[in-house]
Amino acid sequence: MGHSKKLEARTVTWRWRAGSAALAMTFAGALSLGASAAPPVGVIEAAGMDPSVRPGDDFYSFANGGWVKATAVPAQGAYGTSAMLAARNAQRVRDLIQQAADTGHVRDAVEQKVGDYYASLTDQAGIDAKGIAPLQDDLAAIAAIADRTSLSAYLGGRLRADVDATVQRTDGLFGMWVHQGFTDADRYYPHLLQGGLGLQDREDYLDVSPKAAALRADYQAHVAKVLKQAGVEDAQGKAERILAFETRIAKTHASLADTQDPAKTNNLWKRADFDAKAPGMDWKAYFGAARLDRQPLFMVWQPSAVSGISALVGAEPLDMWKDYLRFRLIEHYAQALPKAYADPRFDNTQDGLGATSAALGEAVGKLYVRRYFPPQAKARARAMVDNLVEAYRPRIEAAGWMAPETKQKALKKLQTLSIGLGYPDRWIDYSGLQVVRGDAVGNLRRAELFKYRRSLERLATPVDPAEWTIDPQLVGAVIIFSPNTIQFAAGILQPPYFDPDGDDASNYGSAGAGIAHEIAHTFDELGNQYDEQGRLVAWWAPGDEARYQAAAAPLLAQANAYCPLADACLNGKQVLGENINDLVGLDVAHDAYIRSLHGRPDIVKGGLTGEQRFFLAFGQRWRRQQGEAALRRQVQTDIHAPGVFRSDTVRNLDAWYDAFAVRPGDKLYLEPRARVRVW
């Protein structure tokens, strides 16, 4: 699961998969795989197992050995369950969008908008015929900039709500994200974030390494190519000056570490503060053009960037600004321009599918859930999540590391936690967005303005904790600590992760354990920084931190003993946070599974008891193939342990020992007193 120290929004990708093949197995002190057909056993993939391995010796190989033997190690990077599902989902989305573009069948309003937007972007002949003509009005507006006031008005008129809140990246000079305040959960604020760079972040400009220097050289060549293609004179010289100018912008930017520190991004500015703290920009002209002139308060995430960029507005020659803005304009619309303007190395283009999903995310999502995630699937997932939440209550009440007052606050946070599943209860109404087949640039421009106007309208509405933030078709989930929200997209609530028509035991062991893991972050050292309403306030009592770390110390020691390579062992402290939540998630998911049985024993399916299906599904979530270089890099830098060791979390649960008759002498066996239970 992806993790970032950014505490406003945390994007999650589940790196696990279990298939749906039939499994014929018997258990009598050992497991054997039968050759005959058997009924399906939920999300467990029989062919991926290796029953010749004792589960008590190597549970990961027992659950995944067949898949590991049959799956090639990728030449670069890693390959696992999330990649498999992402590829399948990408094909699903491709089919849906391309079908929507087909005018040969009856299309409803949603399909028509999606299809026409996509068709416009893929009509390369039509795009090539227009060349750069669709940008002439914009280029004329840049040419007409005559002073600081008109420059400021131009910049404000191009402010858009195009911020990726999970990575704090925006294509504009600044980006706006409408969200609740850090300490005020009752109202929305415009959050202003730094931008204006063509490369990914400031380090690409400031890093003195040869690799970074080569990247900048390639980027400068790309800038020159774009300018030359657009008919700009002295393209080489202007490209050099634009790179130097963007470097000056980069020097004003806050570091990624500071951007991910909520204490440093919690900067509430009044309108008058911009004139006092950030001279150079004509802020009256800027906010007037941005339609924010009546907004009294702003959240400024990176004051150094606002002040520094404003100073550049006041100090840099207008011709420098015009050259920069011409290039940024063309770069921004590259996906809707002739191919000569595109260069995927610098993230200035995407295929028509990606651009359509970016502009009409929930419209594409509506098409997706119609076919792949019907209401009954959402209801089945909701029933499981309700059991997971209820299973957390006794865990919190019994947590030895929490002070009594901390437990009360944790229970309150659990009560207010909003968990979105699949898709929003209220979809975005795109009827106000005009999509014209054949007008790729115009469609992109209108889609961005539509999103921006929706954001402005939200400034006058109450905060909605259930506001949807992730496109339903994505294979992923997002935790937003402010407000207290977790959302799981329909794309990830699919077989082989979650089967709405399948087996409860394996659903709880796979998707249930993953969801419970994410819920655990609500209460850990990350979630501790936000209260039940998502306000920035630490709520652990004095002494909780020390007790929490003491309870987790044995788990840290377990991780330190795991060595995926002869000369590379895990750093237990580095992976401790995720390992704790793996354990808590598995524990809670097991409790919830037992709760779902209502006191009745589960039936045997495919020769497997419910307990066995639960733990096998958990073991199969972590299957992953990667080469030595990728594995070594993960050990050095990742806060997640390799999958083989995450699957070994089972050795801390008594129920696993009973399910597979694990005994002293088995390699994974732990004495009962050595089995870790953090809470």
Name the residue among 520, 508, 516, 679 with its Cα closest to residue 602.
508
What is the CATH superfamily name and number for domain 144-336?
Answer: Neutral endopeptidase , domain2 (1.10.1380.10)
106 to 111, 228, 436: CA distances (angstroms): 9, 44, 18
Cα–Cα distance between 424 and 489 in angstroms, integer? 9
pLDDT at 162: 82
User: Which residues in the chain land under pLDDT 70?
Assistant: 1-41, 164-169, 347-349
Domain ranges of the chain: 10-86+373-420+488-674, 144-336
Helix ranges restricted to H, 597-652: 610-621, 628-637, 643-647
Q: Identify the helix (H) or strand (E) that includes residue 25.
A: strand 25-27
User: E strands of 75-220, at which residues?
Assistant: 78-80, 174-180, 188-194
What is the CATH superfamily name and number for domain 10-86+373-420+488-674?
Answer: Collagenase (Catalytic Domain) (3.40.390.10)
Contact 254, 305 (CB under 8 A): yes
Pair of tokens at residue 196: 């204006």
Give per-residue pLDDT as tens, 605-651.
989 999 999 999 999 999 999 999 999 999 999 999 999 999 999 99
pLDDT at 170: 79
Going 457 to 366 to 358 to 201, the CA torsion angle's sign is: positive
- Secondary structure of 364-407 in HEC code, one letter for each residue: HHHHHHHHHCCHHHHHHHHHHHHHHHHHHHHHHHHCCCCCHHHH
CA 504 and chain centroid, separation:
27
pTM of the model: 0.90
Q: Per this entry, what is the length of the chain?
A: 679
Q: What angle do CA 83, 84, 90 make, to 5 degrees?
A: 85
Contact 25, 34 (CB under 8 A): yes
Cα–Cα distance between 492 and 472 in angstroms, integer? 9
434: left (phi over 0), alpha (psi -120 to 50) or beta: beta
User: E strands of 397-527, at which residues?
Assistant: 418-422, 477-480, 485-489
pLDDT at 163: 75
